[in-house]
Structures are given as structure tokens and as C-alpha cells.
Amino acid sequence: MKDDTTRGVWFPLYQEFVERWAADTPPDLGDFISRVSPDERFDLFRQLVMLDLCERQKRGLEASKAYYSSHFPEFQPLIENVFERIAEELGETRGSGSSSRDTHTNFSLDQTSSHGAPHTQHLWEALQDCQSHPNEVIGLQAGEYQFLELIAQGGMGTVYRARHRTLDRLAAIKLMRPEASTDRFIREAKLLARIRSPHVVSVYDFSVLPQGSPLIVMEWIDGIDLKQIIKESPERLPEEKILQWMQQVCEGMNAAAKLGVTHRDVKPSNILIDRDGYALVADFGLARSGISSTDFSISGNMMGTPLYMAPEQAEDPRNVDVRSDIYAFGGTFYHAITGQPPFVGETAFSILFKHKMEPIVPPKTHNPNISDRVNDIVERCLAKNPRDRFQSFDEILMQLRDPAESVSPWQFSESKILQSFRAMFEDQKEDYIHKPEKFIRPDPYYLPNGRRLEIVCGDVTKQHVDAIVSSTDCRLSLDMGLAKAVSEAGGPLIEFDVRRLGIHRVPPGRVVVTPGSELPALYVFHSVTRSEVTGVTPSRDLISEIVSNCLYNATTLGIESIAFPLIGTGISRFAAEVCLDTLFRNLVRRLLYEPTSLKVARIVIRPTQDQEQIV
């Protein structure tokens, strides 16, 4: 078989050849053969001659062996082989009475027949209509493969279980939908063929049927997909089993990522668990290589599955990388460990909106039995900002393989400078939390471009900065915690402005801006940290969203200094150490790498005796 480069040369000619016959304007086979270099002509002739023979026979045109021998004497051995194969195929279905002389009037399709009595419909006609009548193909043959059973129909095509007659080996054959992209189908075959992993479904073969529809022959996995396992399980799956499967999925995805391949549709139904309990990644139908800049979107079809799709993929499916697959991997992990997807909704749009705008409910909220480490791994995979996620499947594998020796899932970073700031922070973190009075004077971290991050002990309502951050619920209530303290310190105009803006519920993670009124700060950023409607409570993901929205508003208003309390650590009982760690990581990264008007970001920790009153 020729390599992918050779096939890339002749395949456009093959498509043109098919289109000419479909338009009922018979092409000149000799002209097409002459359009490639001499060393490629044999391969192209082998691909076109059977199609040419079938189409000429259907139209009553001459299609005998003598015709092809006289016009293409240089290919005589191949012509002899073609007509010998035709005679063999006819012999299987019509008995030994047929001879090669009648083949130009009786043969229907290259290497195609049906077992038992002759089928009245050609295989290619059945395949053209396989979406409407998928069972019409059952029992027919394509080359060495006999179609045994319809398995599934999807956005890219129809999948059948088949058997290789000579090798007696089961295979999965995927046939393209008539309206789907042929180029995408070919790309899937090429991408899969490049990936070498025991946890990725293997490709056996690829071919193009005479009418131009491609098919891909893949490894048959005797098992069940993860979606069905989750659905049929009477109780939640054990963490140990899910960890084993997700590590294997991670290994398969890592093998693909190292070749620059992005799957773009990781989900439970694309993870197959074989009868030995091993997980394999399937269906790279939406995959792309980072080398190509082709636009893969097709008319009105969504590139991926909304339940697990990364926010940036929904906005622009061409502008994705491995981190989008990591998000979908996290969504699949979330579903397996909790029994439900991260977000649900009545429409695709409502689900995608939640992926973009709403923080996730921590997995541990749905399943208190899972470990903190698994909770953190899943949460980081599902971070809204790609920079906040793991940056590679290698990083996730390190967390899954050696949890006892690995650092916190949130401490992985490809940035050496960020690691250096974190190391300085770790040296002081215990004192920040348990002995905050040591930091009556701000403890500064100096960053490039004249920016700095400060950690100080004090009262956020007394900070002389451009803006302070408060914390409240989705109704913008001001009757408890930090919200009450800010309202009392800021005077009646704070409550007036909040009431004016709080007519509707505000989603968690969002920020509402009001003037500071009698506060030293010019503005108050009222962040929403909890919602009794959705059940959202403070989490790393939520804190990250709040920081992102605060910095967006700060830059919009031209603010140069802002003060954050340990939001969510009072009424909501979010761990102060986790909140401080999340604030520090987010603020340092954004001050290092993102455009912002901020020059000073301050984290304010209440004195020990006052900590029960905060937020």
C-alpha cells in the first residue's frame, strides 16, 4: 500500500473522477492517468479501473478485458488480476457456470457480493441509503469484509460490526454519512493510523467505495462504553476503578497529543471498556492536527458535545489545543465520579452558556466519598481559563500515577517564574493563615512592569485602594458577613445602589460594581460566592472566576489598586488556606501575563480574633 503522501496526490483525482461519473459525463481514464507522475500511475490506475468498469457497464458502454488491454497495455498484469477477481466473485454467488467473458454485462461492484442468494440491490446503493435504511447493508460484503450487525449511527457516519473472511477477525467498519465531510473522514483515518497506544482504538484499513464514499476499518472492541456503564450502574462507581480507567484514557490521549492531535470530542460514549477492563479512546472523527489550519466546521453542525465542551471550543472550534481536550476529559471524569455531567440544560445553548459563565459545583458536593485529590484534579481540568488547567496530559498522568509523591494538583505550572513566586509564598503560608498579626505591614511580592502583590493583616473596609471586593449571595443580600460590614461602613448609599442593581438574581462568579460612598475605596466589587438556587458554594473554580471578573472590571474602569478579602471563608466556610492559595496563584499569574491596569493587588486577612466575622 502506498503511504499517505502518495494517497494525498491521487485522491483529489479520484474525487474528480467520481464526480464526473455522477454528473453523467464519462471521464477519460487515460487522461486522468496521464496527470500524475509515471511512478504514481500504477497506483492510480488500480484505484480507478474498477470504478470505471462498473460505471461503463451500467451505461452499456464497452467494458471488456480486451477493451482495457488495448487502451492500457502497460497495465496488462493488473487488468488480468482485476478480471480474475471479478470471475472469482461471480463464482461465489452464481456458481461455476459463469465465465470471465460475461463480466462486462453482469458484474455490479468491486469485490462486492452477498452470501447466499444474489442480492437484488448493489452494495453501493445500500450504502448510499444506509442512514435511512441501515439494515440493508447487513449480510453484504465489501472486499474481504462481511457486514454482520448495525452498531451505531452518529454525526459522522454509521458503524457496523463486520468480519474479515480470510483472517476470521472481527472489525468495526465506519461508513460516512452522505452529507458529512469526506476530507474529515479521511483525516480521521490518517490521524488514528499515526497513534500508537494500547488505549486508542487501532485502524486496520481505509478505502473508498466506487461511488466515492470512504470507509474506515477499525479494531473491534468487545466491551461497553463508559456512558452505558455509568447509566446502568445501580450505585456510584468506585473511585479506584474510575481512576484506573481515566489513567488509561489519559495515556491514550497523551499519545495523541504528542503527535499534535486534538480529539475535540472526548466524552463517556467515546471511551470503550473492553471485557478485560481496559479503557480505550475511540472516535477521532472531529480530531485535528495542530499542523493544519483547515476550517473544519460544517454547515450548522456543532464541533463536539455540549455536555463536555470547553468554553473556547464553543466559541471557535478552530482555535483549540490539548487544553480543550483536558477540559472534556475533566467533564468525563466528573460524570464518572459523580454520576452526572458538570452542567445540564434544556438546550445546547443553555449548556454551553453554563460552561462559559457558571462555576462548577465541586464533585465532592455530589459525592462526598471521593478523595480531596480527585476533587482537585477534576476541578483543575474544568477551569474556565485554559491557563488555569493542567497544560498537558503528562501532568495529569503524574497526578494519577503517583499521588503520594506528587504536589497539589493546583501547583503544577510550566512557568519557572510562577514556581519561584509560589516557593516564596509557601514559606510564609502557615503564618499568613495562623499568625496574620505578623503582617500588619504589607508583605510585598514584586513583579515585572512595576506591579506588586501584597498580603496584609487588616480590615478590607479600611483599605485605601481604588476598589475593594465584597462577598454576597445571588440576591446581593447585605444582612450578614462581609456584605453587612461593607454596607455599614459605606453608609446608606451602598445599600441604595445594591438594591437598585439587585432586582434579578446574579449568577455565582459574577461581580456587581457600585461606588464606594463613605468607604476609603472608590468602588466596591460585590462578588457572588453562593446561590441557593443552583447550590453553588465557594470553590477554586468560583474564586478564579471572581478574580477574572474583578480584573476585567478594574481594567474597564482604569483602576490601579484593589483589595481582596478571603472571600467565601466565613458564612460559606470555604477553607481559608485554599482560598488564599487560589487568590495568590490567580493574581500572580494574571499580573505576570495578562494586560491589566492594576499596579497593586492586595490580599487582606482578618486578625485571628475577628476571623469568625468575615465573608
CATH number at residue 547: 3.40.220.10
Residues in CB range of 242: below 8 A, 6 or more apart: 333, 336, 337
DSSP string for 444-499: EEE-STT-EEEEEES-GGG--SSEEEEEEETT---SSHHHHHHHHHH-HHHHHHHH
> Do 34 and 77 lie in a common domain?
yes
Q: What's the rounded mean pLDDT across residues 501-512?
A: 81
pLDDT at site 485: 92
Task: Establish if 298 belongs to a structural domain.
Answer: no
Confidence of residue 79 (pLDDT cuts 50, 70, 90): confident
Joined grid coordinates for residue 259: 503527535
* pLDDT value of position 205: 78
At which of 219, 234, 266 does a domain end? 219
The rounded distance, in Å, linking the Cα atoms of 463 and 211 is 74
The rounded distance, in Å, linking the Cα atoms of 448 and 590 is 12
What is the rounded CA–CA span in Å between residue 326 and residue 378? 10
Are residues 484 and 429 part of one domain? Answer: yes
Q: What is the pLDDT of residue 7?
A: 42
Rg (CA), the chain: 32
The rounded Cα 421 to chain-centroid distance in angstroms is 32
Establish if 113 belongs to a structural domain.
no
335 pLDDT band (50/70/90 cuts)? very high
Q: How far apart are CA 2 and CA 17, in angstroms?
A: 20
Give the pTM. 0.69
Sort strands 145-153 and 288-289 into parallel, antiparallel or unpaired. unpaired
Which one, of 519, 465, 530, lies nearest residue 497 by Cα?
519
Task: Name which of 139, 140, 148 is nearest 124 in CA terms.
Answer: 140
Classify strands 452-457 and 288-289 as parallel, antiparallel or unpaired. unpaired
Closest CA to 542 of 466, 615, 456: 615
382-409 pLDDT, tens digit each: 998 888 889 999 999 988 887 666 667 8
562 and 466 within one domain? yes
Length of the chain: 615
C-alpha to C-alpha distance for 17 and 12, rounded to whole angstroms: 9
| Structural element, H or E, at residue 314 | helix 311-315
pLDDT at position 112 is 36
- Residue 261: CB atoms within 10 A of its CB come to 25
Q: pLDDT at residue 126 above 70? A: no
C-alpha cell at 145: 469484509
Neighbours of 120 (CB within 10 A): 7
Contacts of 244 (CB under 8 A, 6+ apart): 277, 279
For the chain, the domain total comes to: 4
Same domain assignment for residues 209 and 245? no
Q: How confident is the model at residue 306 (pLDDT cuts 50, 70, 90)?
A: confident
Q: Which amino acid makes up residue 147?
A: F
Residue 460 pairs in a beta bridge with none
**pLDDT of 125 higher than 60:** no
pLDDT of residue 81 exceeding 90: no
| Same-domain status, 149 and 231 | no
Report which residue type is found at 218. Answer: M
Are residues 87 and 202 both part of a single domain? no
Residues 6+ apart with CB under 8 A from 500: none
Phi–psi pair at 283, nearest 5 degrees: 60, 75
Q: Give the range of the structural domain holding residue 211, as residue numbers without chain letter.
A: 123-219
| Pairing mode of beta strands 600-605, 561-565 | parallel
What is residue 60's predicted lDDT score, i.e. its pLDDT? 81
pLDDT tens column, 363-377 = 998 999 999 899 999
CA 119 to chain centre: 42
Q: Mean per-residue pLDDT for 352-358?
A: 86
Instruction: Mark whether 44 and 81 lie in a shared domain.
Output: yes
Task: Judge whether 322 lies within some domain.
Answer: yes
HSE of 195, CA atoms in CB hemisphere, 13 A: 34
Q: Do 472 and 515 sit in the same domain of this protein?
A: yes
| pLDDT at position 487 over 60 | yes
Residue 4 burial (CB < 10 Å; 0-12/13-18/19+)?
Answer: middle
Last residue of a domain, one of 411, 431, 466: 411
Query: Are residues 313 and 366 located together in one domain of the fold?
Result: yes
Q: Residue 184 maps to which CATH number?
A: 3.30.200.20
Domain boundary among 219, 246, 265: 219
Does the pLDDT at position 333 exceed 90? yes
What's the pLDDT band for 435 if we cut at 50, 70, 90?
very high
Residues 548/561, Cβ–Cβ less than 8 Å: no
Q: Give 588's DSSP letter.
A: H
Q: Are residues 460 and 597 in the same domain?
A: yes
* 299 in a structural domain: no
Same domain assignment for residues 487 and 393: no
Q: Is 232 helix (H, G, I), strand (E, B) or coil?
A: helix
